Structure 1
Amino acid sequence: MILWSILIGLAICIVIGMPISFGLGAISLFIFFYADYSLSPIVAQAVNGLDSFPLLAIPLFILVGEVMSEGGIATRLVRLASALVGFVAGGLGQVAVMTSMFFGGISGSAVADASAVGSMMIEPMKRHHYSAPLATAIVVAASVVGIIIPPSIPMILFGVVTNTSISQLFLAGIVPGILITLGLAATTYVQSRKNGRGQPFSFPELKDALKDAVLALLLPIIIVGGILTGVFTPTESAAIALVYAFAVSFFVYRSLSLKRFFSLCAATGRLTGVVMLLLAFASVLAWLLTANMIPQQLVTSLSTITENRLLLLLILSAFLLVVGFFMDLTPAMVILAPLMTPVVVKLGIDPVYFGVLMSFILGIGLITPPVGTVLYVGCGVGKVGMESLVKSLMPFYFTLVGLLAVFLLFPGVVLWFR
């Protein structure tokens, strides 16, 4: 009854357009009144859900991405990417994909990736005879890399709500992130060959671009290297990355003012508030589900359907793809991860592997209609209609689903660094 109440309530929220965080709060109140529970656990569980040190990494990484965009770091990464791959057929498209990988290795957010890279790359691609929908589609598709290459905000959420090692999740995202980048680069090559090369290869330009971007490149090295070596935790790496990004942008590049930095802090605070409100009410629902042994019942129910790991993962993957059509990544992650993880663990599937898989599948949902957040960002930045953008995205959808099949069939690819 409780699970059905939650599912029906979420469906109603989606249909009427109510913010998911408010919907979760309303559903929680309804269940507490209907089941005649004391209301005191609502506040306690909401606060407990936010009382987590790793959650500090989310606003910090969001702010790092904002500082990168404003402080000149992103511009230098674009120049380096252009020097590295701009000579390939469809060169500017390749630059957009490569830049997304660099940017995602710092911000951990697909929305920030699409917004920052799109604002820098879409107009130059249009001037080089890319159609507006294709130029936008390349940027939108490449933004998925931003939540797989470490750091990753969705993986932080998964780690918090399922008590899985965030450091291990970050490590597991490295190889899939590189493979997704290569797959999207190949698709971009096929789709944009007629647009020629963005620029001839120049070793002096590559040398100068590398020299100019060396301080920017140190940022992902600090983040990932520090976590790999155990020098600091993912949350500490986010704080160090922010201090470094601010210092480089303010003192070295001198392209970020204090006034603008405080504006970025305020914008980050507003966005973080939305995420935290959602997580607080999701924690209340998670407590209700656990108290009523819903995860255990799901494990039993799915075990009667199949005990084949691959078949179970196919079922859950198909379900998550459908969920991605109608629900944004963050609410889907905080609601479904605590439900699904016990099911896969029961069958001996590594929760780290499932966390990367779930992040990737819900990441695909970010670029699929009708609710895909990154789609709307792309339409705004690229000044294109939704229908034409989705049409241009179709080859990239096939590539991403093909890569998902690879990750399902060969789990070792995801767990390469485990």
Structure 2
Amino acid sequence: MILWSILVGLVICIVIGLPISFGLAAISLFIFFYADYSLSPIVAQAVNGLDSFPLLAIPLFILVGEVMSQGGIAKRLVRLASALVGFIAGGLGQVAVLTSMFFGGISGSAVADASAVGSMMIEPMKQHRYSGSLATAIVVAASVVGIIIPPSIPMILFGVVTNTSISELFMAGIVPGVLITLGLAVTTFLQARKTGKGQPFDIRELWLALKESVLALLLPVIIVGGILSGVFTPTESAAVALIYAIVVSMFVYRSLTLKRFFRLCITTGRLTGVVMLLLAFASVLAWLLTANMIPQQLVVSLSAITENKLLLLLLLSLFLLVVGFFMDLTPAMVVLAPLMTPVVVKLGIDPVYFGVLMSFILGLGLITPPVGTVLYVGCGVGRVGMEQLVKSLLPFYLTLLLLLAAFLIFPGLILWYQ
């Protein structure tokens, strides 16, 4: 009854357009009243869900991405990417893909990735014979790298709600992130060949771009290197990265003012508030599910269907793909991860592997209609229609699905570090 109440309630929220966080609160109250529970655990579990040190990394990484975009760091990464791959056929498209990997290695957000890279790359691509829809499709598809390559906000959420090591999740995301970048680069090459080559390769420009962007490149090195070496935790790495980004943007590049920084803090606070409200009520539902042994019941039900790990993962992947069509990544992650992870762990699947896989699959939902957040960002930045954009995205969807199949068949691509 409880599981069906949650699923039906979520469907109703999506249909009527009610914010998911409010919907989760309403569903929780309904279940508590229907089951005649005391209401006191609602507040206690909501507070407990937010009482987690790793969650502090989310606003810090969001603010790092904002500072990077407004403080001149992103522009220098674009110049470096252009010098590295701008001479290849469809050169500017390759630049957009590589820049997304650089940017994702700092912000951890697909939306921030698409917004920042799109604002810098889409218009230049249009001026070099790219159609508006193709230029936007390249940026939108490449934004998926931002939630796989470390750091990753979805992986932080997964780690918090399932008590999985965030450091291991970040480490597991490195190889898949690089593979996704390469796959999208190949697709871009095939789709954008008619645009011809970009600028000729210039070793002097590469040297100048590298020299100019060396401080920007140190940022992902600090984040990932510090975590993997054990010098600091993911949360501490976010704080260090923010201080570094502020110092570089304000005092070295001098492209970020104190007034603009305060505005970025306000924007970050609003985004963080949305995530935290959602996580608070999702924690209440997670408590209800655990108290009523719903995960254990799911293990029994799924075991009756199949005990084959690959088939089970395929079924869960298809379910998550469908969920991604109708629900944004953050609510899907905080609602479904606590429900699914005990099931896959009970059947012998590594939670780190499942966390990366779940982040990737729900990330695909960000670029698919009808509610793909990054799609709407792309339409706004690229000034193209949804139908045109989705049509241009079809080859990229195919590439990403092939990569998903590879991750399912070869788990070692994700668990490479073990």
TM-score (norm 1): 1.00
Secondary structure of 2:397 counterpart: helix
Query: What's the CA shift for 1:345?
Result: 0.6
**Mapping 1:187-336, distance limit 5 Å:** 187-336=187-336
The structural deviation recorded for 1:359 is 0.2
Task: After superposition, give the CA deviation of every residue in 1:203-242 in whole Å (9 maximum; x if it has no partner).
Answer: 0000000000000000000000001100000000000000
Equivalence map 1:344-355=2 (5 Å): 344-355=344-355
Determine the structure 1 residue equivalent to 2:383. 383
Distance (whole Å) between structure 2 residues aligned to residue 235 and residue 189 of structure 1? 37
Counterpart CA distance in 2 for 1:413 and 1:259 is 44
Q: Using the alignment, how far apart are the partners of 1:290 and 1:173 within structure 2?
A: 28
Offset at residue 413 of structure 1 (A): 0.7
CA apart distance, 1:280: 0.2
Aligned to 2:112: 112
Cα deviation, residue 284, structure 1: 0.3
Shift of 1:344: 0.7
SS in 1 for 2:150: coil
Letter in 2 for 1:5: S
Q: Distance in 2 between matches of 1:49 and 1:346?
A: 23
CA distance in 1, matches of 2:302, 2:197: 51
Distance in 1 (alpha carbons) for counterparts of 2:254 and 2:415: 41
- Percent identity of equivalent pairs: 86
Question: CA offset at residue 197 of structure 1?
Answer: 1.4
Q: What is the Cα deviation at residue 302 of structure 1?
A: 0.4
CA–CA distance in structure 2, aligned partners of residues 417 and 195 of structure 1 = 39
Alpha-carbon shift at residue 198 of structure 1 (Å): 1.6
> For the residues of structure 2 that align with 1:218 and 1:8, how far apart are their CA atoms?
47
Amino acid at match of 2:238: A
Give me the whole-angstrom Cα distance separating, in 1, the residues matched to 2:46 and 2:300: 28
Task: Quote the offset at 1:347 in angstroms.
Answer: 1.2
Q: What letter is aligned with 2:412?
A: G
Which residue identity does 2:49 align to in structure 1? G
Q: Which residue identity does 1:364 align to in structure 2?
A: L
The correspondence of residues 76-87 of structure 1 with structure 2, limited to 5 A, is 76-87=76-87
Who is 2:154 aligned against? 154
Displacement of 1:402? 0.1
The answer for unaligned runs of 5 or more in structure 1 is none
- In 1, Cα distance between equivalents of 2:130 and 2:417: 38
Q: Any idea what the Cα deviations from partners look like across 1:126-177, whole Å, max 9, x if unmatched? A: 0001000000000000000000000000000000000000000000000000
What does 1:102-141 align with in structure 2 at a 5 Å threshold? Answer: 102-141=102-141
2:56 is aligned with what amino acid?
Answer: L
Distance in 2 separating the partners of 1:12 and 1:200: 55
Q: Does 1:67 align with 2:67?
A: yes
- Please give the alpha-carbon distance, in whole angstroms, between the structure 1 residues aligned to 2:261 and 2:319: 41
Distance in 1, Cα, partners of 2:111 & 2:167: 22
Quick one: distance in 2 between partners of 1:185 and 1:36? Answer: 56
What code does the residue aligned with 2:392 have? S
1:33 alignment partner in structure 2:
33
C-alpha distance after superposition, 1:89-125 (max 9, x if no partner): 0000000000000000000000000000000000000
Between the aligned partners of 2:54 and 2:343, the Cα distance in structure 1 is 24
SS of equivalent to 2:367: coil
Counterpart of 1:24 in structure 2: which amino acid? L
Instruction: Give the SS at the match of 2:255.
Output: coil
Distance 1:203 1:344 in 2: 50
Structure 1 residue 417 displacement after superposition = 1.6
Q: Aligned partners of 1:342 and 1:301: how far apart in 2?
A: 13
Hey, what's the Cα distance between the residues in 1 that align with 2:350 and 2:395? 31
For residues 346 and 36 of structure 1, the distance between their equivalents in structure 2, rounded to whole angstroms, comes to 31
Match of 2:13? 13
Distance apart, 1:67 and its partner CA: 0.1
Deviations 1:18-75 (A, max 9, x none): 0000000000011111111111100000000000000000000000000000000000
| Distance of 2:348 and 2:31 partners within structure 1 | 33
Q: Which amino acid aligns with 1:214?
A: V
Using the TM superposition, give the Cα deviation of residue 338 of structure 1 relative to its aligned residue in structure 2, in angstroms.
0.6
Structure 1 ranges of 4+ moved more than 6 A: none
In structure 2, what is the Cα distance between the partners aligned to 1:347 and 1:11? Answer: 29
CA-based RMSD of the aligned residues comes to 0.4
Listed one character per residue, the Cα deviations across residues 258-307 of structure 1 (whole Å, up to 9, x for unaligned) are 00000000000000000000000000000001010001100111011000
